[in-house]
């Protein structure tokens, strides 16, 4: 069952639970004005007991380097809860932002939420972070 967490004129953040993963779908530009909304939404989900996340960026036409810091901050919080984080972002341009930020090898990237959630979360979560686990 999908539900909306954040809805503004600039961005929408929706959530769904699939195969043990909490899929956080972001729709809109992620920049200095919107990255905090995503951080707050994921922290709220963590506080509610969610541990394994797929950050779905398939509907994000633009993201800036400020968001990379947000992803690292969220990763640290998720790791503290022995959780997992996967990122979906089909565009090469989006993956280039992660590469330029030095984070291309630190995360598992998938082309779609369906691909990212096809296997249940591993028990070790982010124990191997900042390196890839697959």
The 10 Å Cβ neighbour count of residue 37 is 21
Question: Would you state the pLDDT for residue 38?
Answer: 94
SS3 119: coil
Question: Would you state the pLDDT for residue 133?
Answer: 44
Question: Would you state the pLDDT for residue 128?
Answer: 56
Phi-psi region of 132 (alpha: psi -120 to 50; beta: other; left: phi over 0): beta
The number of CA neighbours under 13 Å toward the Cβ of 65 is 4
Task: Taking residues 76-101, report their average pLDDT.
Answer: 90
* Pairing outcome for strands 3-7 and 21-28: unpaired
């Amino acid at each position: 069952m999908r539900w909306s967490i954040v809805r503004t004129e600039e961005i929408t953040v929706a959530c769904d639970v699939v195969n043990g993963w909490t899929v956080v779908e972001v729709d809109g530009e992620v920049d200095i004005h919107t990255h905090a909304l995503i951080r707050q939404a994921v922290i709220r989900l963590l506080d509610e007991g969610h541990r394994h996340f797929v950050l779905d960026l398939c509907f994000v036409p633009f993201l800036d380097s400020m968001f990379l810091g947000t992803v690292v901050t969220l990763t640290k919080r998720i790791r503290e809860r022995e959780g997992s984080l996967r990122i979906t972002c089909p565009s090469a341009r989006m993956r280039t932002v992660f590469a330029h930020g030095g984070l291309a090898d630190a995360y598992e990237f998938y082309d779609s939420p369906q691909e990212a959630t096809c296997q249940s979360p591993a028990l070790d979560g982010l124990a191997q972070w900042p390196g890839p686990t697959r």
